[in-house]
Amino acid sequence: MFFKMAKDKEKDVKTNAMRILENLQIPFEVITYTCDEFTDGVTLAQELGQPVESTFKTLIGQGKSGGYFAFVIPVAAELDLKAAARAVGEKAVELIAVKDLNKVTGYIRGGCTAIGMKKDYPTVIDETCILFDKIMVSGGRLGSQIKLNPEDYIRATGAKCLPIIFE
């Protein structure tokens, strides 16, 4: 198997995202695992036995103004850049290069979450999140996922909940 659930001692590793949720007294569940290499969110959800539809990824975009934005969408969906730009009041938005992710957010690919980035960038989560009792997002490092109520996620990130994916 490509993924293995982590041993108990690995579950004790707290990330900034987890500390922030605890400080906000937001209930969440941590799912830890070990993996050999980065993989896409669909495969990750399937290997962890989690619903793909309620598993979300965080993408970072940059607007024409130069500002950065976090867009949180289902892992199997594609970000609609025009809708994303409208959501943040920009004429256009482009996704940043993976090589710039750590510099901008403090996170690496596969471990990026809108909770606890270097700066509090405006965040938009796709409106489909409200269809679920719980959503799964990155826990702030490879090998860690967080499950929580989407309304709690919105509260923790200050996210707007808008349609930003292709139908």
- Would you state the pLDDT for residue 39? 78
Q: Structure tokens of 81?
A: 């850049």
pLDDT tens readout for residues 1-31: 344 454 444 446 799 999 999 999 999 999 9
- The CATH architecture that domain 3-162 belongs to is Alpha-Beta Complex (3.90)
Give the three-class secondary structure for 128: helix
Residue the block writes with tokens 């004429």: 91
pTM higher than the cut 0.85: yes
pLDDT tens readout for residues 142-158: 899 999 999 999 999 99
Give the three-class secondary structure for 129: helix
Residue the block writes with tokens 């594609």: 78
Give the three-class secondary structure for 134: coil
Domain ranges for the chain, please list them. Answer: 3-162
Q: Averaged over 57-68, what is the pLDDT?
A: 97
